[in-house]
Structure 1
Amino acid sequence: MVTSIKPLFAKNITSIDSNEEDAIFVVDPELGALGKIDVRTGFFQGVVNFRSFNEFKGAGAIFMRPDGIINYSNFNRIYAIGIENGMVYEVMDTITINEAKDVVGLYWKEGRYYVADSSGILFILDGDRPIRSVDVGNRINDITLHGDRLFILSDISRAIYIYSLDGTHLASLTTPHEGACGIASVKTSDIERSGIYIYYNQKSWDVFDDASAKPDVDNSPNIKLNRNISDGFIEKLDYKIIGLGMAGNFGLSDGYEVEFSYAEMLKPVHDILERIKGVKMCVRLSIPVETRRQKVKSVKIIGDVPGVIRRDESGNEIAEFDFRGVELDKERRYFGYCAVIELYGIRFKLNAPDSGYPEEIKTRFLKKELRYDMDRQELRRIAEDLISAIPRKERGNVVKIAKTVREYVYSRLAYRYNNTYTSPVETLRSGEGTCGKYMELLIGLMRLCGVACRPVGDFKVPEYKLRYARVNSVCVPDYDHAWVEFYVPAVGWVPMESSSDNLPERHERFFGALSWIYIENSRTEKMCEICRPDSWEKVGNDLMYSDFFVPDIQIKILREASLH
């Protein structure tokens, strides 16, 4: 279970660490202060260097050694100091790492330093002599040692990479929230084993009265917005690593139990009852589905139209509402479902899988579909070029191919909302699109490159609306969402976000990974449809779903979910 700690005087933290039970030490490079926080209560216990207050100005990383020595970094230098009665004194010579630019993570064990540079390089030093470097591949914010494993934090990738002390990548986790910048292994007095704690620094805003400004013409108060506020908090990370044999593993991380309500109401339009009078129809809705990262605890029908939970012709669970026996004498009929689900973060670590697909997977998820423009020569030529650019020995590696296709699409498209339909080739030519357009282009190219894949959706919890009160708060999604899953032999379906953040360095963040905020519905490729009874066959082309119904969606965060 996770519980947020919002300590005083911890707004601009770059690194955290612990060498005392129930305590976390935080370094604030703006104040130049080393603070101490009680993990049990969240209380700020004071500044440790209160007589040498500027010592930690510009500090990037901190490590509290068991022998009382404190290491901290500034650019590419590592200092070793002691603190007594608030006064700092030097205990060892400064170490300079010429190969590093900006040290953001430190650990020391049995004479060896483990030093993380912000660029993504992990340096291993024997004393002050570099003996090995490991390219983690993404920008780093902080590191810690948990048990005998290095936990390397990268906020831009929303990831924690777990490494052995010899530099071998063992597993990965997804951080629950944006803004992770500090990580520490902390022993608390109420639990036998140490736990992982993460410090998050998220941008916020505040309102103030600018007394020096002249009043507006309507004599309104001189209210101004300060957008440079930081919202700092610490949470314990709950996680579990699940092995997949020789194929690799995946990590589950912190999540929440949520109540997801989806309802549709017949539109209050004067001619709507006449248009559907006498039509024998049902409405089918996709519902939350059980996955490795999403656990469905219950689904119940709501509203005043008879409905059942059933499986459709492809084996997908859906909610079906039968309008044949409903007297449509009023326009405000509504129907839907309420589901209680547990959502977790997930991140896969996969070992060079090949494309030896089962026949059923090839038949269903490598097939050509017109909506993905797979018959268009332009797309087929791009797929051929992408495959030919991959080294020959890696052309059977579906993970490598999926990454290559995704990087191509991300480099060609910018995320921009518009509601004009474009085919995948037209989307590529325009250079912009929403998640659904990214998804269609990705699926078309991936299938042409031999990667079995399928569309997924439907919603994301807008976490920014929950910043100040996650549990027991209610929110409405900003929009529906679509992403992609690709099939990896010996593993199964692996998720990846469809749309980019328009920042090249973030392209890795949700490849083979998702955060807890994604709500996955059944894989029908249809979210809702007006159908003939007991089928997905449309009643008529003139009966468009959006013309007749208006949706309402609510998400309530019930509690923090536990993986144990």
Structure 2
Amino acid sequence: MISDTLLSVSPQQQFNVATIRPIAASEIHGIAFYNNKLYALDNRNGYLLEVDPITHNTKVINSNNWEEFIGATGLAIADNQLWFTSRYSVYYCNLDDPNFNCTLFVRLSDPVNGVAIYKSTVYISSQKAGTISVFNRENAQEITRLYAPGIGVENITIKGEELWVSDTLEQSVYCLDRATGKQKFSLLTPFECPTGISFYHDPNSDQEILYVSYVNHEPYIRDNPNADPNHELLYRIETFIHPLYFRYYPDDHYALSNGYLVEMSYVEELAPLDPIELNNLEWRIALPAETHRQKVRKVEAIGRPFTEIIENGQRVAVFKFDTLTENTRCIFGWKALIEVWGIKYNLSPRDCETVPEMPSEYSDRYLVDNDNLAMDTEIIQRAAAEAVGRETNLLRKIYSIRNYVYDRLSYGIKPHIDTPDIALRRGVGSCGEYVGVLLALFRLNGIACRTVGRYKCPASALVRHLPLKPDYNHVWLEFYIPGIGWLPMESNPDDIYEGGPYPTRFFMGLAWYHAEMSKGVPFERLMIDGVVLNKQQVSIGNLAINHVQFTILEECSP
């Protein structure tokens, strides 16, 4: 179990500005705190930057030797020695040496990425080899090798008996046992592409704060007076360093990371397209759910009042209309103040070797074809058998089905959702079609699962108090492990490479920007006298225009 000193602390107790943006830095790969200073490696310019973590004052300390650091990635400082990785080699030099005369420590057969020092041992990560090698610091002899936990470029740091690993593709940080490499838990980072990792000891609070560096490409509009039209869409590199707040709950097998207080609103604008008259209509819209990673502080009505009911354990807002015709115009919906966190469950196949029996009511609800899943078609039944083969472990079955679907589907958006048999035959699917195929294959293999969603806040965690509008709605799923509970799994975002390997960042994990609602119940539906109106009778899309908006208010600690 992680010690209390490593648990997250309130952002209000942090530096004046938590996000550190070293001036003139282009791409930060590798960071290290030493003697209350932050050292950052800008591998594009070759700058070794010394940054005051409170004032953010920045200076280049290798002014005459910057060329040697171009392309370098990993960074570590111990006993006044600076260590870094460059291509296939690991070097070290004296931090006080103004000329930064570097000495070769070891050259390996595979490119190396990260380096960490602990007393007489040196840890070196390599994405190409898929390992973290451990060397004797005195004679550069290899002692052992540990398996790297992710598939991306990994940077590393040491904290006591723990080895901490950041992974660019996994959007994750892993906490490993330093001696054995066994994973204790993992965390989702609030931003994509983490490139460096280090702990800072805050002398004011006596806390250990985990900092992570990031490199991203952000789109922006450039005003080019020499072009016609003069506005151009371009991309630029964004790099910064931000605290990773977290808390691990070992008894419940999950860890929470950076969260945000978000105001979300969902509003329907009545504007019927066709002549219609509906009397005694109930318009039901699901409200945000209470989960391990999402807390609802407040909900209030917009436009018209609603009554609240509980349906299958979920909160649902009910708007009532005595008469609704094509001439009715109004807006109605809800606004919610919610706390959302990143969550990552940490389970291994060994944890699922023997599981209790599934509750009988789950079989009736979550193992049947109750959503046009085409589970009786030959192509789906054949796929369900091929996906698991002879596997018997429940978690490995789930993982195998996910990878099988990723192998056979590519992401694409269409105006409507086809059934799983059509989507699988076509080989292209939206998030809803990914979910449909996954649900069908899971259920045919006796794995209880359900559709969840409904929206993702634009992942702009550093943009505060400005309205943000998602481009699309979104759905993912949850699968049930008896004795443990419902676990999340993204539908398609991890399907980033044709044929894999696929990241597992959102396998049993969700990023902070997911807004959870409608678990096991429809998100939105119309009812008259207790009878649900289907799409053939009346389409919600033909009745109203929905407006969805998020506003990020502040960052929170778990």
Which residue of structure 2 lines up, in the alignment, with residue 307 of structure 1? Answer: 306
Residue of structure 2 equivalent to 1:477: 470
- Residue 536 of structure 1 deviates from its aligned partner by 5.8
State the Cα RMSD in Å.
2.3
Report the counterpart of residue 95 of structure 1 in structure 2: 106
Structure 1 position 206, deviation (Å): 5.6
User: Residue 459 of structure 1: which of 455, 472, 497 is its match?
Assistant: 455
Partner of 2:135: 125
Task: Pick closer, same or farther for the CA change 1:165–1:539 going to 2, 3 Å.
Answer: closer
Amino acid at match of 2:263: E
SS in 1 for 2:386: helix
Amino acid at match of 2:247: K
Q: Secondary structure at the match of 1:556?
A: strand
Structure-2 residue corresponding to 1:242: 249
Partner of 1:7: 22
Are the structure 2 counterparts of residues 322 and 11 from structure 1 closer, same or farther at C-alpha, using a change threshold of 3 Å? same
The Cα shift of 1:208 comes to 5.9
Q: CA deviation at 1:5?
A: 1.9
Distance, in Å, in 2 between the alignment partners of 1:409 and 1:327 is: 43
- Write the distance in 2 (CA, Å) between the matches of 1:329 and 1:374: 39
Note if contact 1:264-1:336 (Cα within 8 Å) is conserved in structure 2. yes
In 1, Cα distance between equivalents of 2:377 and 2:319: 38
2:187 pairs with 150, 155, 173, which one? 173
Report how far residue 329 of structure 1 moved. Answer: 10
Do the aligned partners of 1:55 and 1:88 also contact (CA within 8 Å) in 2? Answer: no
Q: 1:539 to 1:447 in 2, by over 3 A?
A: closer
In 1, Cα distance between equivalents of 2:272 and 2:446: 48
1 CA distance for matches of 2:376 and 2:313?
A: 28
Given the alignment, which residue of 235, 247, 266 partners 1:262?
266
In structure 2, the residue corresponding to 1:372 is in which secondary structure? coil
Stretches of structure 2 lacking an aligned partner (at least 5 in a row): 1-9, 12-17
Measured at CA, do residues 485 and 207 of structure 1 come closer, stay the same or move farther in structure 2, by a change above 3 Å?
A: closer
Q: Does the residue aligned with 1:374 lie in a helix, a strand or coil?
A: coil
Q: Distance in 1 between matches of 2:324 and 2:363?
A: 45
Aligned partner of 2:337 among 330, 333, 340: 340
Give, in angstroms, the shift of residue 524 of structure 1: 4.0
Percent of aligned positions with the same letter in both sequences?
27
Aligned to 1:104: 113
- Structure 1 segments unaligned to the other structure (5+ residues): none
Q: Please, what TM-score do these two structures have when normalized by structure 1?
A: 0.89
Aligned length in residues? 531
Instruction: Decide which moves more: 415-424 or 450-459.
Output: 415-424
For residue 383 of structure 1, what is the amino acid of its counterpart? A
CA drift at 1:205? 4.7
Secondary structure of the structure 2 residue equivalent to 1:311: strand
Distance in 2 separating the partners of 1:105 and 1:536: 61
2:408 aligns with 412
CA change 1:536–1:478 in 2 (3 A) is: farther
Tell me the distance in 2 between the aligned counterparts of 1:376 and 1:33: 60
Q: Does 1:286 align with 2:279?
A: no
Q: CA deviation at 1:170?
A: 0.8
Aligned-residue offset at 1:183:
1.0
Query: By how many angstroms is 1:474 displaced?
Result: 1.2
Aligned-pair CA distance for 1:556 = 0.8
* Structure-1 separation of matches of 2:451 and 2:439: 8
> Tell me, what secondary structure is at the counterpart of 1:317?
strand
Task: Kindly indicate whether residue 524 of structure 2 is the aligned counterpart of residue 509 of structure 1.
Answer: no
Preserved contact between residue 296 and residue 342 of structure 1 (Cα < 8 Å): yes
TM normalised by structure 2 equals 0.90
Instruction: Determine which of 196, 206, 212 is the counterpart of 1:182.
Output: 196
CA distance in 2, matches of 1:377, 1:208: 53
Task: State the AA in 1 paired with 2:178.
Answer: L
Q: What is the one-letter code of the residue matched to 1:239?
A: F
2:364 counterpart of 1:363: yes
Match of 1:252 in 2: 256
Residues 170 and 309 (structure 1), Cα distance of their counterparts in 2 relative to 1, 3 Å cut: same
The corresponding residue for 2:15 is none
Partner residue in 2 for 1:495: 488
Return closer, same or farther for 1:536/1:190 CA change in 2, 3 Å cut-off: farther
How far 1:207 moved relative to its partner?
6.0
**Amino acid of the structure 1 residue aligned with 2:32:** D
* Distance in 2, Cα, partners of 1:250 & 1:450: 24
Please report how far the alpha carbon of residue 308 of structure 1 lies from its aligned counterpart in structure 2 after TM superposition: 1.0
Which stretch shows the higher mean deviation, 454-463 or 74-83? 74-83
Give the distance between the partners of 2:544 and 2:487, measured in 1 at CA: 33
